[in-house]
Amino acid sequence: MIAERLKLARKKQKITQDQLAKLVNTTKATISNYENAYSSPSADMILTLATALNTSTDYLLGKTEVMSTETHYWDLNEKDEQFIESRLEELINDLGNNEAIAFSKDDEIDEETRELLVQSLENSLRLGKMMAKKKYTPKKYRNNED
């Protein structure tokens, strides 16, 4: 996975293996070995390659399909993350209330169900916050996006 992702990211940046090697302080042969899956880069090298190629380590490792590390006006910032964290904590505390879990036959939900519910709530809060930012951010702050 990393071999093909590395090659795609390098080609998108329109640089040669030799140029990339110089950027990350290694040899062209090493880059070639990575791209042909003859060897794998270390964790530190993956981070260095991602930075040089303006991509994320998650993309190189195949955890995401998004190649660019470009940011958008609707991306969550530190303030948004703090809001989500505090709101999630409130919701988790409410899970202890029997009325909040009235859909369950038992008095308490099992740990696995609780964890899935918490993950779902967090994802919903994140998605809701991003959608609100997309909808309510004034046009002058949108950087000609959307």
Higher pLDDT, residue 141 or 131: 131
Residues 84, 126: contact at Cβ < 8 Å?
A: yes
Check whether 76 has a pLDDT greater than 60. yes
**2-60 under CATH 1.10.260.40, yes or no:** yes
The pLDDT, as a whole number, for residue 81 is 87
Range with the poorest average pLDDT among 34-43, 48-57, 134-143:
134-143
Percent of the chain with pLDDT over 70: 83
Query: How much is the pTM?
Result: 0.49
The pLDDT, as a whole number, for residue 139 is 84
